[in-house]
Structure 1
Amino acid sequence: MSEAHVHFQYDSAAHQEATALDGMWLFLATEVLFFGALFLTWLVSRHFHPQGFAEAARHTELLIGSINTAVLVTSSFVFSCGLGFIERGDARSMIRACFVTALLGLAFITLKGVEWTKDFSDHLVPGPGFAIAGADSGGAQIFFCFYFVATVLHAVHMLVGLGLIAWLVQRARRGAFSAASHAPVEVVGLYWSFVDVVWLVLYPLIYLVGRPG
């Protein structure tokens, strides 16, 4: 199993791998700020339109959202198992775990596509012909603006993650990772876990808050 190539700006492989992890943490901090602004916008909007947001939440697909939550949490667990495999030097099992993670990620995207299709057919896209009428139809439209922006952004991050997992598999097949050198696997694992956490925040905001009644 080959060791990581040490680039000229680093003192050692350990220094290079630590820098890669620090860089990912810094990137994720910027992502927290990005999604945090989105969540803050949701909270402020809901404060001014509680009735519209509650009515809109009752039109979301709770079953699909719940299944997708289970799928994504499972995918993170499987990837963490893959990281454990490569930490023990078992690249073959790591590759299998990456394949399962990718399949679960594709299942998530597919279900989300089914949900979006149903939203369009039910006229839940903000604008002319919006299905939810009533005193706070405007608030309901704001909710679905947030819904589409947030879920599309999350799906884009998912697709990036799937691309990174495919890259890991390609490198692993070439013997790039070992028990002593596997920082890229940890970096991708951090990214995938972040995507999972973002969804765990989106899930209650979209499907649960205000739904009863």
Structure 2
Amino acid sequence: MPKPRKQQVSVEATPFYHCVSRCVRRAFLCGTDSVSGQCYEHRRSWLEERILALPQIFAIQVAAYAVMSNHYHVVLFVDIKQAQAWSDMDVVQRWHQLFKGNVLSQRFVQEEQLAEAEQQRLKILVDEWRSRLSDISWFMRVLNEAIAREANSEDGCSGRFWEGRFKSQALLDEAALLSCMAYVDLNPVRAGIAETPEKADHITRR
């Protein structure tokens, strides 16, 4: 039985994690379907743009990534200090870039006066949202749901696009981090997408 995600992630042990999401069955993230001849290469840009945009909202940075035909890799750095340094307004404004929030949070960003009970309720929400904005499960959820919606809309279908859970691996020391980043960078080479990592599109080079 898979371990709960909370038992797999401990930022006290390490802030670095290698995550992988894979498409279900014969679904294509990108590449060309050899049976139908349908090209999905444009979906690489969908995913890359999202991967690079989310660190502007989350307290999570992307150290490396690679986009393959039916899966992708990301190496994530969870910046707890950044999340703790945000003001309540910072948290709410960031959350509103992802979700609508609620009446209280909308009134708060409009700088309306809140009653004491409303302020207490908002504080609970802010603490919850601050935690989610430094959580790799929420990062991967927001990333995958956006791509799934676009892919299903393009394919004219509904249902699951990704496998049920993304895989995550804690990178506990510098050697593990460097080894993992090299592995991610070399994925396009092993797959025959590029001759060298330097010539591969849709991977980071840091």
Q: TM-score, normalised by structure 1?
A: 0.31
Higher RCO (C-alpha under 8 Å, 6+ residues apart): 1
Rg comparison, structure with higher value: 1
